[in-house]
């Protein structure tokens, strides 16, 4: 299983091993005319360039090359195969590596005997076999040790991330509880007292002061904002976020407030990234909320346009905004702009020449990924 492209370091190691094998092999030969053996020496070393990308095939190639150049008369240790054993065990292929190594330990002496390299006795062959076995065990042990170290490092990193996430969740819930305990009660008292005062004054036929009406409206607004903040703080990520499929619900909800809201979808609908999906929903949600609260509009239109390489959304209203009385951007508008900019898109939010306000966003969509 591949782990990336073959890098310069991989090639450097492979070339060095190939050169070492060739120099060692040729220094022990009476002549350099054995081209087949030389080719196997070079191939065994150069194959190591792909040891991280394809450890099992490299294990097989280096093993066959080692048997081949032993059979061709080159008395050279299977250095490339040891590198391949290390890489294969590190990648987690322990069973295959053990099986291949058993076969190698059986074939190497046979190849050496067939070529006439070692005919000096059984004792020498046994000593050589023991040495080869020791080197194979050492290479495999090194690969396994590094694999275990990497696994422990990955587990430690995951544990740190989970601990940080859990602490963040606990802190968020703590803030939500504190907000609820300290603010909700006080705001509720202000809101109730203001509403009672307005109600009593109207029953008596008295004039209701504008300041009292402002306090009543501010209490309602603060209650809504606080509820939204607490919901966001309590959100643990398990609730599916709103997306394009829920935009129609936003428009329908806006109609229940008396706003003549319409939704138009143009273009051929296609899948979009989740971040774009959520951002469009938030733009429509924030725009309709601002219209209901501040625009004093009678109509609003939401238009979503599916383009080949982008998704465009536009929300217009016929409210009181004019080019001469442009509203000061609030937190909602700034949040929209941050979301769109983070996705590489563009946002326009400004009064219309004919009156009212428009919010237009264009979000790029990479459909090739």
Q: What is the pLDDT of residues 174-226, one digit of tens each?
A: 666 666 555 655 676 777 777 788 888 888 888 878 877 777 777 766 666 66
Average confidence (pLDDT) over 293-301:
84
Q: Are 62 and 42 in contact (CB under 8 A)?
A: no
Percent of the chain with pLDDT over 70: 78
For residue 117, the model assigns a pLDDT of: 59
How far, in Å, CA of 92 to CA of 143, rounded?
A: 9
Contact 45, 21 (CB under 8 A): yes
CATH number for the domain formed by residue range(s) 244-364: 3.30.565.10
Q: How large is the average pLDDT for residues 118-123?
A: 49
Checking 166-170 for CB contacts under 8 A at 24+ apart, the result is 169/236
Confidence of residue 316 (pLDDT cuts 50, 70, 90): very high
Per-residue confidence (pLDDT) for residue 223, from 0 to 100: 67
45-51: average pLDDT: 88
pLDDT in tens, 162-173: 777 778 767 766
Tell which wins on pLDDT, 194 or 352.
352
Model confidence at 78, pLDDT cuts 50, 70, 90, reads: confident
* Mean pLDDT confidence for 55-75: 86
């Amino acid at each position: 299983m591949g782990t990336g492209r073959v890098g310069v370091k991989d090639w450097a190691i492979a070339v060095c091993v190939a050169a070492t094998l060739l120099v060692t092999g040729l220094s022990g030969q009476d002549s350099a005319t054995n081209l087949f053996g030389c080719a196997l020496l070079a191939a065994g070393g150069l194959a190591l360039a792909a040891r991280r990308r394809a450890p099992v095939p490299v294990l097989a190639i280096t093993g066959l090359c080692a048997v081949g150049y032993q059979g061709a008369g080159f008395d050279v240790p299977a250095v490339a195969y040891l590198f391949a054993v290390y890489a294969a065990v590190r990648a987690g292929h322990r069973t295959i590596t053990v099986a291949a190594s058993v076969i190698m330990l059986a074939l190497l002496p046979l190849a050496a005997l067939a070529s006439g390299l070692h005919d000096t006795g059984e004792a020498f062959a046994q000593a050589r076999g023991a040495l080869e076995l020791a080197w194979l065990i050492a290479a495999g042990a090194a690969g396994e040790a590094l694999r275990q170290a990497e696994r422990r490092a990955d587990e430690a990193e995951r544990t740190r991330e989970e601990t940080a996430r859990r602490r963040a969740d606990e802190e968020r819930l703590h803030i939500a509880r504190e907000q609820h305990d300290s603010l909700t009660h006080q705001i509720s008292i202000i809101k109730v007292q203001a509403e009672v005062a307005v109600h009593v004054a109207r029953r008596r036929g008295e004039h209701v002061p504008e300041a009292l009406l402002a306090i009543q409206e501010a209490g309602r607004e603060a209650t809504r904002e606080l509820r939204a903040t607490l919901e966001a703080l309590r959100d643990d990520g398990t609730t599916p976020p709103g997306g394009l499929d829920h935009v129609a619900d936003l428009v329908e909800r806006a109609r229940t407030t008396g706003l003549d809201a319409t939704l138009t979808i143009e273009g051929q609908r296609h899948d979009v990234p989740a971040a774009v999906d959520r951002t469009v929903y938030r733009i429509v949600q924030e725009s309709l909320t601002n219209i209901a609260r501040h625009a004093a509009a009678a109509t609003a239109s939401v238009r979503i346009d599916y383009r080949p390489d982008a998704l465009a959304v536009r929300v217009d209203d016929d409210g009181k905004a004019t080019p001469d009385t442009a509203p000061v951007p609030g937190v909602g508008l700034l949040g929209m702009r941050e979301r769109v900019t983070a996705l590489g898109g563009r946002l326009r939010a400004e009064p219309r020449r004919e009156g009212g306000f428009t919010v237009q966003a264009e979000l790029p969509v990479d459909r090739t990924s």
